[in-house]
Structure 1
């Protein structure tokens, strides 16, 4: 008994999911030899070509299917998927809307519309299509995963985690759920768990470019740059125009110090479609990763209005302006984008922190809440990971931490901390001047002074990054070798255990009574050195001496001129081209420490 066409197509589709493309193609070719117009076989073969990275072949199959019957939602949805792989987002949306008009209950088109709008940041449209997908297939694992990604984009971590877990409870091998959960674990800094989830997803779908990107990103965050590059290069050869692959490959090149090559690759990619908003924004992100702040500023000034007006583009330009030391321009752009009230802030004030505020951004900007608390009462709402440091502000007695008040502020909330910073810098220059804004606790500081060495040798606080390409413990060991200084480790995370390599260093991290206790230790030290991190920000906020070792793609708050830091006058900057060896920076840091402590 011969196999029927539907049976062959069913088997081929299962083989494609397992990555067995040769076997699947053999079955599909059998169908097409006898039935050249078989729609399902043409679409399946196009899907096979897409999975294998053969996009021109996929395009020929889909065009053939479309020419034979242009009114098939399945064909249109696959044409949309192909357009996404080629970063043609408007074309993808057009195909999907056409499929939805032909068949409103065609689930793949509805779900993909939700995902595209979410990735584009159009949350209203994403929510609309996601609700429709949930109505069509309640409890469907793909809907649960799309909903989790939607919650994650809104920074609702616990809700996203619960949805991913629910999807995996239904289907333990659901690849997008495994990949999404891997991203969440990486965000939490649990790279081991993230790596296991990402590897499992990749092994289940070894030809899927999205799972490969997530695994490569996890390798990169864990410091395994060579593994990350080796993996992503395989997919870059297949998906030369797929934005996630191109951008992840560039990011890894930059992390390895190959900045010129990364920019060259992305520039060539952009030239293929110079008006494509997705490619423009992607290229701007790569410029940020490379620390090419001037190029970002220049490029943003030449973009079409529909692209330059996007929030993400304006935000990237604001970061560039800050990094270039043009903070007043940056705050003016922020104020216009946020439609902030003009004029000098007036107390009482209510400031709020959105979910997952970058911790170091918060630490930099809390100075403005502190400044205004010296004038009048401040209410602060919203979640913070550094509540203990808020209590160390010199004017902490004037700041009341409250739950959100529905009668206050924009959308029932107070203004963002960054909003207060913008209004202060633009309208109240006297309140924006730097003054130390953290204070040590005298009794606890004295305990630290008694515990630290009492001889005449200078005490230098040190910390480092746990993985490449950051400044590593062995780089600091080279700096301190043979010097008459006492290194005091302020490391408080898992990297603290690397101190077994450096027996000469004092492990202050083992005795820290919470993150806020770093304030008391730092106030006892002669100098603090290291990469961008909490100890240096605390030194700067105390007005204590410090030296920040930074790559050219440093964050906005390390803006300055030469060695001078704009935001922390007591902290000197050593800014060097991106280089995982930190060779030049090590020499410069050694000289800077000697100069400070001579």
Structure 2
């Protein structure tokens, strides 16, 4: 029979290949002869962790760390258990000790940097990443260099630097092609950048490598949901929930899908069971808040978000969720309280627009720029090139696509810096380029009025073109003209409705959209840039808002908090548009009756 060292080496090989039971059998042989064998006990702790027995593993590692304070592997494994249990600071101390004992061992620095990122110590994490790069290059260890680039991507994501994160992940994947974690993270980045098809392709790649892995299945389902491919997503999620009933993310996504399908009561009841099993889990409470909000009950959603904050008062994500719901309810002053003049932000050197911020949100937030710019001057606004045509219509801004200068303030911070209070209404603040205004006025002069602009969602459960057309044909009864303001791939749906004027085919950029909207008598339809343009121009519109009530469409007495000329009609539940369309029809009929042909 081999000696203890040989048995332990064989057990290590079994552990590495996932053959836990066989490894345990060999460890039993060693420990029956030498109960205090440190290496065998250390490996036994790893076996316990692999089996999910974290408490037993922690107890064993605690004893070993006390006996052998200079063993980096033991204190490192102890740090792993701390991290798994959410004890970030304790994990940090353990990994710092492991790095001090074995400074040349890159794996401990990877773990330390990961923990530092999780507890928000970004500067210290960057220091570890620099050391990792040095060690990786000196030893020609491509894996360590790839880990350093992957960690860099995670830090970039914390600051919403999506392009930087995407490039870092590209670098990591060049060094270790097909790495599941990097592929998954890059899929998330691309989804946030609205490259949904490419994000799905990466998720499919991860899934093909490990079709039985629950996390890879959930990633794929999430990407399918992004594209409203509900049937495929549901099939994957039901399989996961059947084989892993307590998988939180799978249950949450399945509940989300069911809510969107109109089965909200069943979905909420099912997920509530998970919350009852762990009522103090802030993450579960936040997910429950999101589901309840999606179903249309904002007040109840707020109560769950506040419960999450009670459990973890310093949870930034929970605070953002609560504030977003408060804004959606129109309780603006509770999130951005009005400030006395002397407490408001002083001079701001420049504004920057975060990547992936929806263009409609950008336009709404531009309303605050006029309060920053000195009289007769404009404030520099750094933005992506695609946004520049939109921003040139804001008289207080000087838009540029040059990299943001030091000290530039994110446009999302302006409401808090300035203090909005409970009455954020403002006069129209978007200007239309004169030449384009004249050209579009001439283009529509011959069309029968009222001119009704429309925007829609491409697929259910959103408000589809078919539903809008049916409502308009009944309401207008042959009067007026319907004008499409859609200018992306959704335009292809207009082929079934040749009577609709396709204005979008003549848009070169958002300046044409603004000029076209300025000619209309009414805009109706779903959320999107066109609605924000109508509000910023002070034009009349009616938006069909989804049940979750985005904060940008907060309302009071049926009117937008931010755009007084826009009527907000919220659906009672996902997929339910009948009452919304009935209200839209009433407004359109009134407009048709009140508009006379010239």
Same fold (TM over 0.5): yes
Q: Does 1:421 align with 2:415?
A: yes
Deviation at 1:399, TM superposition (A): 3.4
Q: Does 1:89 align with 2:65?
A: no
Matches of 1:79 and 1:238, distance apart in 2: 30
Deviation at 1:510, TM superposition (A): 1.6
After TM superposition, the structure 1 stretch with the greater mean CA deviation from structure 2, 179-188 or 579-588, is 579-588
Q: Which has the larger radius of gyration?
A: 2
8 Å contact from structure 2 (residues 96, 112) kept in 1: no
Q: Deviations over 1:436-465 (max 9, x none)?
A: 111223432332244347242432222223
Equivalent runs, 1:300-339 vs 2, <5 Å: 307-332=312-337
8 Å contact from structure 1 (residues 381, 401) kept in 2: yes
Q: Does 1:400 align with 2:398?
A: yes
Q: 1:505 aligns with which of 488, 494, 500?
A: 500
Q: What TM-score does the superposition give when structure 2 sets the normalisation length?
A: 0.81
Aligned match of 1:590: 585
Q: 1:239 to 1:428 in 2, by over 3 A?
A: closer
Matches of 1:147 and 1:405, distance apart in 2: 20
8 Å contact from structure 2 (residues 162, 193) kept in 1: no
Q: 1:578 to 1:562 in 2, by over 3 A?
A: same
Q: 1:26 to 1:300 in 2, by over 3 A?
A: closer
Aligned match of 2:190: 185
Q: Deviations over 1:546-596 (max 9, x none)?
A: 111112212212111342211111111110133235344334333332233
Matches of 2:404 and 2:172, distance apart in 1: 36
Deviation at 1:315, TM superposition (A): 2.7
Deviation at 1:508, TM superposition (A): 1.7
Equivalent runs, 1:32-71 vs 2, <5 Å: 34-35=29-30, 38=40, 42=44, 45-46=47-48, 49=51, 55=52, 58-59=53-54, 62=57, 66=61, 69=64
8 Å contact from structure 1 (residues 461, 487) kept in 2: yes
Aligned match of 1:557: 552
Matches of 2:62 and 2:373, distance apart in 1: 69
Deviation at 1:376, TM superposition (A): 4.0
Matches of 1:208 and 1:353, distance apart in 2: 40
Matches of 2:212 and 2:106, distance apart in 1: 24
Q: What TM-score does the superposition give when structure 1 sets the normalisation length?
A: 0.81
8 Å contact from structure 2 (residues 544, 568) kept in 1: yes
Deviation at 1:110, TM superposition (A): 4.0
Q: 1:153 aligns with which of 154, 158, 169?
A: 158
8 Å contact from structure 1 (residues 552, 575) kept in 2: yes
Deviation at 1:196, TM superposition (A): 1.4
SS in 2 for 1:386: helix
Aligned match of 1:478: 470
Q: Deviations over 1:33-75 (max 9, x none)?
A: 64567557646655665xxxxx4xx548846964884567667
Deviation at 1:533, TM superposition (A): 0.7
After TM superposition, the structure 1 stretch with the greater mean CA deviation from structure 2, 211-220 or 125-134, is 125-134
Equivalent runs, 1:63-142 vs 2, <5 Å: 66=61, 69=64, 88-90=85-87, 94-95=90-91, 97-98=93-94, 100-102=96-98, 104=100, 105=102, 107-119=106-118, 121-131=120-130, 133-134=132-133, 137=136, 139=142, 140=144, 141-142=146-147
Q: Does 1:363 align with 2:363?
A: yes
Matches of 2:238 and 2:392, distance apart in 1: 48
Q: Does 1:381 align with 2:384?
A: no
RMSD: 3.9
Aligned match of 2:174: 169
Equivalent runs, 1:425-436 vs 2, <5 Å: 426=420, 432-436=424-428
8 Å contact from structure 1 (residues 76, 96) kept in 2: no
Q: 1:102 to 1:14 in 2, by over 3 A?
A: closer
Matches of 1:84 and 1:212, distance apart in 2: 24
Aligned match of 1:495: 490
Corresponding pairs, count: 565
Structure 1, unpaired ranges of 5+:
17-23, 50-54, 407-411
Deviation at 1:130, TM superposition (A): 4.0
Aligned match of 1:536: 531
Q: 1:470 to 1:66 in 2, by over 3 A?
A: same
Aligned match of 1:20: none
After TM superposition, the structure 1 stretch with the greater mean CA deviation from structure 2, 97-106 or 192-201, is 97-106
8 Å contact from structure 1 (residues 323, 557) kept in 2: yes
SS in 2 for 1:180: helix
